[in-house]
Amino acid sequence: MSATVIDGKAFAATVREKVAVHVARLNEEHGITPGLAVVLVGEDPASQVYVRSKGKMTVEVGMNSYEHKLAIDTSEADLLALIDTLNTDPAVHGILVQLPLPKHLDEDLVINSIDPAKDVDGFHISNVGLLGTGQKSMVPCTPLGCLMMLRDHHGSLSGMDAVVIGRSNIVGKPMAQLLLGDSCTVTIAHSRTKDLPDVVRRADIVVAAVGRPEMVPGDWIKPGATVIDVGINRIDAAEKGEGKTRLVGDAHYESCAAVAGAITPVPGGVGPMTIACLLANTVTACCRANGLEEPEGLTA
């Protein structure tokens, strides 16, 4: 068996096109332009790249982009004051504070200071609780992207057996909640799960989000299962003549692709969907703030 490759890059482009259509409609019919504010504290190189990419794509889909770059020694009080200003700004519909934050800042305190209705990362404790109880919420972008790709590939997920490997608050737990919402039977597995290979082999859907390079080999995968690989790991590839490092997922791509029915590659799978879903969440937040119908196909 040779797995169907789920092209996240192409799918993300489609999502961004849908977002752009909704943004144009909001502007034309209601005179509203969704606005996304991104706050970056410090000069972490990876974070700077992410923020630039988010800003570029925000503008490309017709939304307003507001970037706030703060010094690494910015006080907690000053950061909270900025967030309070953004919370009350009607032109800002989505707020994202780029993580990780410098160590002197309390990430939980900062995230929970964001207006939950503008929390387009879906990390606020109120959104976590709403998602966990099956109510309308802002959904974390990476799990939302995974869900979109699964729905697109399978149609209905009802009754399917899903295993999520990883229990993080950012991916693992919300992913499980989203799959439950689509009537999957869900197991959250992790590094201490007994007989982990056997647990994974039962799954029709495997979401690998544990943060360990190529942890999941092909002989863990049920023939025909769908593998969604959330991992992005840099490993030394010099001995293979591929340069100093290469990107790999949490699943061993070649062996898993030989068994699975469908699989996301790394790179080019889940990664591109995260920013696309951030833009989708901003449009959703804008519609909710203005009492308008939410965009179809861009929310959970």
pLDDT tens for 232-256 read 898 876 555 556 788 999 999 999 9
DSSP 147-195: HHHHHHHHS--TT-EEEEE---TTTHHHHHHHHHHTT-EEEEE-TT-TT
DSSP assigned state of 238: G
Give 259's DSSP letter. Answer: T
- pTM of the model as a whole: 0.94
Mapped onto helix, strand or coil, the DSSP state of residue 244 is coil
Structural contact between residues 265 and 12, judged by C-beta atoms closer than 8 angstroms: no
299 vs 223: CA distance, rounded Å = 30
Task: Please check the confidence at residue 4 and state whether its pLDDT lies above 60.
Answer: yes
Q: Find out whether 121 and 182 touch, Cβ atoms under 8 Å.
A: no
Which pair of structure tokens corresponds to residue 46?
A: 């990876």
Provide φ and ψ at 241, rounded to 5°. Answer: 70, 25
pLDDT over 90 (residue 262)? yes
Q: What is the pLDDT of residues 185-237, one digit of tens each?
A: 999 999 899 999 999 999 999 999 999 999 999 999 999 999 999 998 988 76
User: By the 8 A CB rule, do 33 and 63 touch?
Assistant: yes
Alpha-carbon Rg for the chain, nearest whole angstrom, is 19
Catalytic (active-site) positions: 54, 98, 121
Tell me the CA end-to-end span of the chain in Å, nearest whole number.
Answer: 31
